[in-house]
Structure 1
Amino acid sequence: MMSSSDAAAKPWPVNAWYVACTPDEIEGKPLGRQICGERIVFFRGPDGKAAAVEDFCPHRGAPLSLGFMREGALVCGYHGLAMGCDGEALDMPGQRVKGFPPIRAFAVIERYGFIWVWPGNREDADPAKLHHLEWAESDEWAYGGGLYHIQCDYRLMIDNLMDLTHETYVHASSIGQKEIDEAPVHTRVVGDEIHTMRHMENIKAPPFWRMALRGAGLPEDADVDRWQVCRFSLPSHVMIEVGVALAGRGGYDAAKEDKASSIVVDFITPETETSHWYFWGMARQFGIDDAALTDTIREGQAKIFGEDLDMLEQQQANMLRYPERRLLKLNIDAGGVRSRMMIDRALEMERA
């Protein structure tokens, strides 16, 4: 059980759904992953459903993730104790283990191509609190993505994604351009989300979006209208609507045949106070049957996010080096600031 004092000491909400892994990561084997400070092992039970228990064998304390699967049971790789999906000890060669106290089990959901975990109290887990992702259930979208393990506070990644001004500098060779700096930024609260928006008109597309225009069957050298709409939602998700449309055709609202639009998918799962798991990807509505285009976009995104990774890890190292320094806030930081305020309110509610 997670006590209120445990939650108070951590900078993340625990009564929420976080992406834990992708289905392929637990295909026929257990996966150990630390999430929100909890060491958890994920696996599939005898019915094929995803399950999660604490990564601790009650016999001698070995990580259960070092074991293996046998007929839906998780078998410890140290002495062979078999564990069930509810954290109960099932059997062990030559031993009577039915009386062992159970280890902690976590609530999990498999949906939208991901396995989600609720790090807080299992009995409080509410499937209705998992955000609906229309793009993950529709045949009108294609998706490709990946995973990075990043050594920085998860909130630094949220700051990064809610202020895309950095693209001009960090991603100068792919998605950055000077017009990003020049376009005004608008931030507002929309329901239970924070939105930060930027629109640019009559510009040339940067290299990544020239490639996207080609993939959408549009002229890559045409003047375009470009948009970025960043949407933060609890506990730590950022969906970014991005795209370019042929100039004068309506921009964000242009017809599908006149634009290359997509959603940059960012699931940010805290690991420790200074590290997180970053599940990234792009859902798009152009060239959806083009597998080669999916691979090209994935490779391009991997390079772009790799540049973010290096900057964020260096930023975290510097902040640890100078903990007394206070950071300045500008109007472009409004999206990140308001997102952090929403996280802080969620933490206050949990502590209450």
Structure 2
Amino acid sequence: MFPKNAWYVACMPDEIDSRPLGRKVCGESMVFYRGPEGEVAALEDFCPHRGAPLSLGRVVDGKLVCGYHGLEMGCDGKTIAMPGQRVRGFPAIRSFPVVERHGFVWVWPGDATQADPAKIHHLEWADNPEWAYGGGLYHIACDYRLMVDNLMDLTHETYVHATSIGQKEIDEAPVTTRTEGDEVITSRFMNNIQAPPFWRMALRGNQLPDDQPVDRWQICRFSPPSHVMIEVGVALAGQGGHEADSKVKASSIVVDFITPETETSIWYFWGMARRFKPEDHALTASIREGQGKIFSEDLEMLERQQKNLLAWPGRQLLKLNIDAGGVQARKVIDRLVAAEQGAPMEAPE
């Protein structure tokens, strides 16, 4: 169950620079490639001749050529040519609205008439030389809402990420959750604590001492359909915490674009954008490596959790105060899906 009338991250540009890419998004099998002027195109991954996956073909002069019998497809889904055959009368296959922006390729799997590029999230860190970004992609066999739950409740860091970003103070700090329209924000602030290993590394990267007490914050922001941006960081204790001057803190935005593949699998585009030392490429690589290891620790937990939920579909799960962010995010998702299906909607709280 996922909203289809929404923009999802489908891939990163370098995934389609030299070849077509087959990827399923929200249950729709798609092929992505670059057309004649280098623009991105997205079609259903189905050759109208014999049903072969077009993603197994190649791109020639901006035309997608089927790898089975050489049928050439245009970016609009219409057939162009085929060796020795007349094919222009073939019915067009489905094309999907697609936009390349902010260093990602976005696709709209629903009603194309509603696909307004202005609805793509504004990302303050994208295309801004004051920021640096590094990230990656994981394929995870779980319901996308489990990842939303995971990111909107960072209590799990104490246990899943004990050697990197976890610490007991996360359990002890109070959590607040609020909604702003369709956005859900969960916040946690920890004052006068020791920084965990990952943040000690970040402090050193910003030429700050790593052995002094810090104030730490986590502000998780869910935006539909399934995106979570998390403001995280540490500042030398007593300097203003989240509002401290950049000279005394190391802070970042954890970037989480969660794209459903099927009901029980996702494409997880993860990364971290930071506003300190953006010119330090070695630091970017170091943070990316650390982030990659952290997110890989979530992978096994979520996949095993999904297997348990499938094995015991009737089991009721406990809901605690720390789950408020995920619960509210699911209400937003449910409301959007109901609206698409024409069902009665629950009013936002």
TM-score, length basis structure 1: 0.97
Query: Which amino acid counterpart does residue 158 of structure 1 have in structure 2?
Result: V
Matched, 1:281 2:262: no
SS at match of 1:106: coil
How far did residue 207 of structure 1 move? 0.1
Unaligned runs of 5+ in 1: 1-10
How far did residue 192 of structure 1 move? 3.1
SS at match of 2:334: helix
2:46 match: 56
Aligned with 1:215 (options 205, 208, 221) = 205
How far did residue 321 of structure 1 move? 0.9
How far did residue 273 of structure 1 move? 0.5
Matched, 1:314 2:314: no
Which ranges of 4 or more aligned residues in structure 1 deviate by more than 2 Å?
none
Aligned with 2:144 (options 154, 163, 168) = 154
Aligned with 2:66 (options 68, 76, 80) = 76
Matched, 1:346 2:336: yes
Aligned with 1:200 (options 178, 184, 190) = 190
SS at match of 1:134: coil
How far did residue 222 of structure 1 move? 1.1
TM-score, length basis structure 2: 0.97
How far did residue 170 of structure 1 move? 0.2
> Matched residues in 1 for 2:209 and 2:65: separation?
57
Matched, 1:21 2:11: yes
RMSD value, Cα: 0.6
How far did residue 277 of structure 1 move? 0.2
SS at match of 1:135: coil
> Matched residues in 2 for 1:37 and 1:192: separation?
24
User: In the TM superposition, what are the counterparts of 1:46-195 in structure 2 within 5 Å?
Assistant: 46-195=36-185
> Matched residues in 2 for 1:121 and 1:42: separation?
18
User: In the TM superposition, what are the counterparts of 1:258-269 in structure 2 within 5 Å?
Assistant: 258-269=248-259
How far did residue 267 of structure 1 move? 0.0
Matched, 1:329 2:319: yes
> Matched residues in 1 for 2:245 and 2:186: separation?
23
> Matched residues in 2 for 1:351 and 1:47: separation?
37
How far did residue 191 of structure 1 move? 3.6
2:347 match: none
Query: Which amino acid counterpart does residue 192 of structure 1 have in structure 2?
Result: D
How far did residue 324 of structure 1 move? 1.1
Deviations 1:160-214 (A, max 9, x none): 0000000000000000000000000000012431000000000000000000000
Mean alpha-carbon deviation: is it higher for 317-326 or for 206-215?
317-326
> Matched residues in 1 for 2:100 and 2:51: separation?
28
> Matched residues in 1 for 2:113 and 2:253: separation?
33
User: In the TM superposition, what are the counterparts of 1:298-309 in structure 2 within 5 Å?
Assistant: 298-309=288-299
Deviations 1:61-96 (A, max 9, x none): 000000000000000000000001000000000000
> Matched residues in 2 for 1:41 and 1:150: separation?
20
2:243 match: 253
> Matched residues in 1 for 2:97 and 2:281: separation?
34
How far did residue 233 of structure 1 move? 0.3
Matched, 1:233 2:252: no
Deviations 1:261-301 (A, max 9, x none): 00000000000000000000000011211111111111101
Unaligned runs of 5+ in 2: 343-349
Using the aligned pairs only, state the percent identity: 72
Deviations 1:26-80 (A, max 9, x none): 0121000000000000000001100000000000000000000000000000000
Give the number of equivalent residue pairs.
342
Query: Which amino acid counterpart does residue 55 of structure 2 have in structure 1?
Result: S
> Matched residues in 2 for 1:73 and 1:28: separation?
13
Query: Which amino acid counterpart does residue 45 of structure 2 have in structure 1?
Result: D
Deviations 1:108-165 (A, max 9, x none): 0100000000000112211111111010021110000000000000000000000000
> Matched residues in 2 for 1:347 and 1:121: separation?
13
SS at match of 2:97: strand
1:40 match: 30
> Matched residues in 1 for 2:69 and 2:83: separation?
9
